[in-house]
Amino acid sequence: MLTKIILSLIFSSAIAFAQSSSIHGNLIRIPFEASQINPADTMGSWISYSDSNGYINSDYINIVHTTQSILFEKSKEQDFTSLGLTTLLSLENFVNANSESCGWWMGYYDVPEPYIIYRTVPFRVENGYWLMNGVYNMSFLSDDDSITVLPRNYYGDMLYISGKINNKYLASFRKDSIGPAYDLYLLDLTNSPSFDTANAEKIYFDIPAAPYNIYQISSSLYIAGVDSLPYNGYGIYLFKFENDTFHFIKKVFNALDQSWIYRNGSLYIYEYPDLVKYEYNPSDTSFINRTAIVSDGGITTNDDFTFAVKHSGDSLFFYDVNNSQLVNTIDISGLDHPHGILIDSPYVYIHQTTYVTDIKEVPNRPLDYSLQVYPNPFNPVTNVVYTVPERGMVEIRMYDMLGREVRAIYRGEAEAGDHRITINGTDLSSGVYIIRFTAKNYSDTRKVLLLK
């Protein structure tokens, strides 16, 4: 049977005239010990674009290191009347100008779900990073810079990795049930993205809980951030771990988000508007000696809470969190609309605006060519979403890893706008395929993995 190919008109848009404006920018890099900014030390690009039909907004949200590269995660959110809300995630390598998709999500869920995560949470394991978006998708960035996006399966795939326990990783899986419910396992993730649940130890909490951060305090005592189901709100709890079960001891903090870490006997946490430190008191399992390290908002930390930056007015203040010490102040009055700070010691990266356009009447055209394929891996259906800025001939073909064409997906003219082609791969064998997209002088490819 030939593969069924459905051309969807949902994503297509004809040219019309609309009011339009856009803000363009990049990242400027600032060393921790700099005495002033270097306006030429910039990289990347982002855009905020809107017209009467919707908007596109992109920015950089994370920095992750492999043994090969420094990669910047970019989020591109778009919401148009014909397209709906879509967020595409990619990793950019500024050294070789390479970009590769690492995740996506579309629309909203109508029911509360603890593991709906709109901004990727990176989690380091032995051979790379898990990039976690909960029920939307998980992807794995290997130390060789290859990316594997797990299939989006609301009922069963791994949703989140909370922390390390007895040299294994505590991971949450969605149960096949109507309400949010989870299976928890201690997994060996040394060969990520492969893992085995069949032979893994199943773990339990004696209260209904969806765990996020979890850290060991003593041989059997753990501190964990959890959503206590059903929807009693996020809190930080103490548990005693015995015989495959976390036994509830007490709630330590109430109604806080996931911005905290426990390290070397101290708890570092946001208590808005301050970044504070508590010391653990083993005599009564309490947290004492509250110290405000950075106060009055505008605070960004790196993932392990070792450094913090405060943005206030025309200045950046750099803090050594471990030593509760201000180490530098730098004037950024020369930057236009500085925002969105990322910390990657010994540098701070901050978004800045480079130019603004405001055009009253322009053709409602997309900004550039683009190609996305989701979900990836898939079984058996995936979507090829492409954008063309003007009417023209388009070809999309699928090849196997030997370069043999296995499918002529589409050949014909396409109007300017966003388009989607849904591919059902029921009659294809499991394996890696290449999807090639060409239009005018533009060409792009995506590797896709069909799992059966």
- Give residue-wise pLDDT tens across range 297-349: 999 999 999 999 999 999 999 999 999 999 999 999 999 999 999 999 999 99
- Asked if residue 6 belongs to a domain, the reply is no
**Quick one: 220 and 78 in the same domain?**
yes
What is the separation, in whole angstroms, between the first and last Cα of the chain? Answer: 17
Give the count of domains, the chain. 2
* Rg of the chain in Å (alpha carbons): 24
**Residue 90: which pLDDT band, with cuts at 50, 70 and 90?**
confident
Q: Compute the C-alpha angle 268/272/275, nearest 5°.
A: 30
Taken in order 190, 194, 200, 204, the sign of the CA dihedral is: positive
Same domain? For 294 and 345 the reply is: yes
What is the token pair recorded at 429? 């064998």
Q: What is the pLDDT of residues 57-71, one digit of tens each?
A: 999 999 999 998 999
Classify residue 393: in a domain, yes or no.
yes
Higher pLDDT, 113 or 324: 324
Instruction: Look at 314 and 443; give whichever has higher pLDDT.
Output: 314
Residues 349 and 373 in one domain: no
Please identify, among 357, 392, 423, the residue that sits at the C-terminal boundary of a domain: 357
Indicate if 92 and 182 belong to the same structural domain: yes
Looking up residue 381, the CATH number of its domain turns out to be: 2.60.40.1930
CATH number for the domain harbouring residue 60: 2.120.10
The residue among 302, 337, 357 that closes a domain is 357
Residue 6 has pLDDT above 80, yes or no: no
Note whether 76 and 106 are within 8 A (CB): no
Residues 295 and 384 occupy one common structural domain: no
* Residue 10: band (very low, low, confident or very high) from pLDDT cuts 50, 70, 90: very low
Asked whether residue 14 is domain-assigned, the answer is no
Do both 310 and 415 map to the same domain? no
> What is the mean pLDDT of the segment spanning 177-181?
66
pLDDT at 12 over 50: no
How many Å apart are CA 122 and CA 124, to the nearest integer?
Answer: 7
- Note down the domain range covering 421: 364-450
Q: Is residue 8 part of a domain?
A: no
* Mean pLDDT across the chain: 84
> Do 394 and 444 contact (CB within 8 A), yes or no?
no
**245 and 217 in a common domain:** yes
Whether residues 201 and 246 fall in one domain: yes
Same-domain pairing of 210 and 275:
yes
407 and 279, same structural domain? Answer: no
Q: Quick one: three-class SS letters along 229-286? A: CCCCCEEEEEEEEECCEEEEEEEEEECCCCCEEEECCEEEEEECCEEEEEEEECCCCE
Rounded Cα distance between 128 and 40, Å, is 32
Confidence label for 8 from pLDDT (cuts 50, 70 and 90): very low
Mean local confidence (pLDDT), 353-369: 69
Q: Please say which residue of 300, 334, 357 terminates a domain.
A: 357
Per-residue pLDDT tens over the stretch 123-172: 999 999 999 888 777 889 999 988 887 765 544 578 899 999 989 999 99
Residues sharing a CB contact under 8 Å with residue 96, sequence separation 6 or more, in sequence order: none
Q: Kindly state whether residues 130 and 205 are assigned to the same domain.
A: yes
H helices of 24-174, in order, are: none
Q: What is the pLDDT of residues 419-439, one digit of tens each?
A: 888 888 888 888 888 888 888
195 within some domain: yes
If asked whether residues 333 and 401 sit together in one domain, one would say: no
Half-sphere exposure in the Cβ direction for 7 (13 Å, CA): 8
